[in-house]
Amino acid sequence: MDSDEERVKTYIDGLDSLLFGGVPTGNQVLIAGGPGTGKTLMSFEILYNCAKNGIPSAFIALEEQPKNVIKNAKKTFSKFPDIDDLISKNKLIVDGEDPALRVTTPSDSQMYSFGNMLSDIEAITKENDARVIAIDSVSIIKLMIGDPFAYRKSMIALVSSLRRKGITSFITADVSSSDRDKIRFSQEFFIFDGIVALYANGQEDRRVPTLEVLKMRGSNHSWMLSPYEITEAGFRIFTGE
């Protein structure tokens, strides 16, 4: 049996059961999916849940302004009454930088800009000694660093830096398609310890959201494809139990 310290629970019932109790502590987990599948909201909910359960958490917003992430999360998760309270007590940090500043960085200073981002992330996590973080999303890094080799090196640098600190992270990435049969995972994704994939497959006249755990180092996990929905009280994942 795992002790509590060996796993970080997501506190999303269905997800924890697919993960056989949670994510092994220190794992770097990719939440991959097409646009609108709920990657930002899912990573936010996991961090909110952790913060609520006494684990300091930091959400690093690279795609949207932090205030918008908070605004959207509060709107969607209207049954989470204490988002502001956790933020004001520094149990949950939602921070980042204006994404527009990043994409307009001149190409010759791309690596410099990435270095800055790593130190920003480090500074943010130090503010409350975050043990669980989210980075939303790494796709922005791909836009920022045009050269594929430099991009892969940066991803490895990011993941190793988090791993060294023993931080458990949930890192979102946009993939080319929301359709399970069409998704091609980029090469660099294999550096992650875990992958949770969110899909929205077309079925007759509607798209049906489903998710699966594709990989989780250090743990067994379910191989089931599970439908999910986003509700005012958080994600509901239908595991058939």
Ligand X SMILES: Nc1ncnc2c1ncn2[C@@H]1O[C@H](COP(=O)(O)OP(=O)(O)O)[C@@H](O)[C@H]1O
- Residue 183 as a binder of ligand X (CB under 6 A): the answer is no
Whichever of 44 and 114 has its CB closer to Mg ion, that residue is 44
Whichever of 75 and 164 has its CB closer to ligand X, that residue is 75
Residue nearest Mg ion, CB atom distance: 40
146 binds, options Mg ion, ligand X, none, Cβ within 5 to 8 A by partner type: none
- Residue 210 as a binder of ligand X (CB under 6 A): the answer is no
Q: What's the 3-state SS for the chain?
A: CCCHHHEECCCCHHHHHHCCCCEECCCEEEEEECCCCCHHHHHHHHHHHHHHCCCCEEEEECCCCHHHHHHHHHHHCCCCCCHHHHHHCCCEEEEECCHHHHHCCCHHHHHHHHHHHHHHHHHHHHHCCCCEEEEECCHHHHHHCCCHHHHHHHHHHHHHHHHHCCCEEEEEEECCCCCCCCCCCCHHHHHCCEEEEEEEEEECCEEEEEEEEEEECCCCCCCCCEEEEEECCEEEECCCC
Candidate list 14, 24, 26, 33; residue touching ligand X; CB under 6 A: 33
- Residue 226 as a binder of ligand X (CB under 6 A): the answer is no
- Residue 40 as a binder of ligand X (CB under 6 A): the answer is yes
Whichever of 38 and 56 has its CB closer to ligand X, that residue is 38
- Residue 40 as a binder of Mg ion (CB under 5 A): the answer is yes
38 binds, options ligand X, Mg ion, none, Cβ within 5 to 8 A by partner type: ligand X
CB of 69 to ligand X, least distance (A): 9
CB of 192 to Mg ion, least distance (A): 17
- Residue 22 as a binder of ligand X (CB under 6 A): the answer is no
Binding site for ligand X (CB under 6 A): 33, 35-41, 76, 230
List of residues contacting Mg ion (CB under 5 A): 40
